[in-house]
Amino acid sequence: MAAKTVYVCSNCGHEEPKWLGRCPDCGAWSTFVEEVRGERKAAGFAARAQGGGSRASAGKTLRLDEVSGEAEGRMGTGIGELDRILGGGLVPGSLVLVGGEPGVGKSTLLLQVMGHLGDRCLMVSGEESPRQVAMSARRLGVAGSGFGVLAETDVDVIEATILRERPEVVVVDSIQTLYSPELAGAPGGVGQVRECAARLMRLAKAEGIAVVLVGHVTKEGAIAGPRVLEHMVDTVLQFEGDRFQAFRILRALKNRFGSTNEVGVFEMTSRGMEEVEDPSAFFLSRREAEVPSGVATVCLLEGTRPMLVEIESLVAPSPLAVPRRVARGVDGGRINMLCAVLSRRAGLALGSQDVYVNVTGGVRVEEPAADLGAALAIASALRDRPLERGTACFGEVGLTGDVRFVPGTKRRLRELIKLGFDRIIMPEGSSGGPTDGGAESRRGVNVVEVRTLEEAVAVALL
């Protein structure tokens, strides 16, 4: 009996002979994945059912104290920001998935990495010809580094080439273009992506080769393909940023060999992706005059790095029965909550006002410490009264209107002082450390601790 293809619901396990958009058993949408069933697998199940047992030999178990605890030797990529996000460099035998919108800079960054590693790398290009890759490499100045290029989409050929060439690092651009001849689906399908990624994962673990996969994203911003793809890999890196802005944020969504709190900031130039060592200076507008109303500076903490961003707000009378709440760069639900807290706890009349909030520089803000800055920006825009020059803030806002403690106070304060801010609004009790209290006052910095949002608004809008 020849191998046949079936479709299995990844949610409940229901099987169908053809692909369906909705599972008739559990009702979930777009959950059917392609699987190949063959005669040998069926015969094995039949033999076990008849009491014949399994012909596979038992595996060897190891006690944890017998396993070597030495750290894996890492390979530096030549890009400090990327090495820091990865936890020190690429780990041999690891599988890294890099996602992001088209044109955000995934291929550019990886070409620069291969240019640094040289002939230890092999690039598998499923989207571009070797000539196109060479043109991009010459533009970035890495054409003479000596890394190999394979223009192929058949995963069988790719696997055989890797075993023959024995590179230390393999970059696949992109995983959605590969296909396995054993499956009937087209490249990019759920079953094809899962099967190709699984084979590359087994090859990476068996041969100790670091494999980097480039992944497309959907229009919602999630990495395309089955969700199991993100569970297979060791590290998931996501590129964020507006294609019309020069800045890019590289964030670790998952990392088995390092922290997931680190982010890297890059600037897209004609020479490729350049590291931004001081992102706070780039995300702050250089205003010589007074700061306009509706603008607040917030100190965020991305991993171990403090980073300053500006949050802008515009409040205007709404012609609609239900006022607009528009957010860019920050969660819209969070802005709705802050508007409700400002109305109920701080006495600001926002029920008939349209509220627009934007984070400058195209950066995406997720940390709760930005709550206080967003709330003060909205209050400043409503009252048309700017915050005092040199003012910055951080703190989480609760539904009861209290301003809550956020970690990393010392690092935030040091960054704000370094950049010349002399009036800092933060949660009460945050400066209780042994080095926080007197150092700032001796430098002439006014640290204002607030307990509630109403108090923060009163202090900020004097």
Residue 213 has phi, psi (to 5 degrees) of -105, 135
Tokens 């500006």 correspond to what residue?
A: 310
Task: Determine which of 21-35, 125-139, 366-380 has the lowest per-residue pLDDT on average.
Answer: 21-35
CB contact set of 375 (below 8 Å; sequence gap of 6+) = 338, 341, 342, 346, 397, 453, 456, 457
Q: Three-state DSSP class for 215?
A: strand
Q: Using alpha carbons, select from 445, 442, 413, 443 the residue that is nearest to residue 427.
A: 413
Name the more confident of 276 and 110: 110
Average pLDDT rounded to a whole number, residues 324-343: 95
- The mean predicted confidence, pLDDT, of the chain is 85
Higher pLDDT, 247 or 167: 167
Average pLDDT over residues 7-34: 83
Provide the pLDDT confidence category of residue 247 given band limits of 50, 70 and 90: confident
Residues 300-337 as b or e (16 or more Cβ within 10 Å = b):
bbbbebbbbbbbbbbbeebeeeebebebebbeeebbeb
Q: Please report, rounded to a whole number, the percentage of residues in the chain having pLDDT higher than 90.
A: 51
Intervals of CATH 3.40.50.300 along the chain: 73-276
CB 195, CB 182: distance < 8 Å: yes
Cite the residue boundaries of each domain of the chain with CATH code 3.30.230.10. 282-460
Q: Greater confidence, 53 or 295? A: 295
Spatial CA neighbour of 37 closest among 4, 11, 66, 80: 4
Give the count of beta carbons closer than 10 Å to the beta carbon of residue 128: 16
Checking if the pLDDT of 199 tops 60, the result is yes
Position 304 confidence tier, pLDDT thresholds 50, 70, 90: confident
What was the pLDDT predicted at 259? 83
Question: In whole angstroms, what separates CA 410 from the centre of its chain?
Answer: 26
The DSSP output letter for 113 is H
Determine the Cα–Cα distance for residues 95 and 397; give it in Å rounded to an integer. Answer: 39
pTM of the full structure: 0.74
Residue 119 pLDDT > 70: yes
Beta-bridge partner residues of 212: 96, 171
Among 73, 175, 85, CA closest to 124 = 175
- Top-level class of domain 282-460: alpha beta
What does the pLDDT average to over 177-201?
86
Confirm if 155 and 169 have CB atoms less than 8 A apart: no
Percent of the chain residues past pLDDT 70, beyond the cut: 86
CATH of 73-276, one of 3.40.1190.20, 3.30.360.10, 3.30.1490.20, 3.40.50.300: 3.40.50.300
Contact 371, 359 (CB under 8 A): no
